[in-house]
Amino acid sequence: MKYLLISLVAIIPLFSSFTRFERIEKGRATPVSNPDTFPVPTQVPRLLFYIQRDPNTNTIVYELNTDAQGRISPSQPVHPFWIRYPEGGIRQDLNYLQRKFAYGINAKALGNEEYELRSVAYSKLPLYLRRDMKNQYHVYTEIGAKKCILNRVFIRIEGGTFWSPNVLYIELKGTEVATGKTVVQRLKPS
């Protein structure tokens, strides 16, 4: 994904009545999971956002990284880890390759406990870790040209290799700050 150039395609509404999509492969339809049917990691108290992707429901969770006194770690304000739902929901840290090339986050302190975050896989999309009016931390970004709190990223993958997956689209889902409405944007490789 690091080498993909992604462009804005459209804002896609979510249709909660659909539970599966179909993909045509060699003349036959095969089921494709609807990301809205994937488990949501609600058991993570400091959850910022999460990533889900094909081919299974394993989830990469990004949580606020704090010490025992509740202070953010200045060197690593976000802690990513797996929740392996097919294996009973066990938690597992990312391995070196996952942290450095796929799901890791680079953080740059901006002052006043605010950080700019960049994905190691796609550094063109700026994310900002900051507090809201209730003193709660969120990750903010633009989704569909609207200032939003990022909730979920879904990556639709169809084949490819470990180093070069065939990404059909990346879907960002968040809550618009001004209205509280859900906003969804799909990005496709160019």
**Token pair belonging to 157:** 């993958």
pLDDT at 88: 95
pTM of the shown model: 0.82
Amino acid 10: pLDDT: 24
Structure token pair of residue 76: 């690593």
- Name the token pair of 122: 């796609």
Written as six digits, the tokens of 176 are 């618009």
**pLDDT tens per residue across span 34-47:** 888 999 999 999 99
H helices of 13-144, in order, are 96-97
Query: For 116-166, what is each residue's pLDDT tens digit?
Result: 999 998 888 999 999 999 999 999 999 999 999 999 999 999 988 877 889
**Residue 21 and residue 12 in contact, taking contact as beta carbons nearer than 8 Å:** no
Q: Decide which of 136 and 29 is more confident.
A: 136
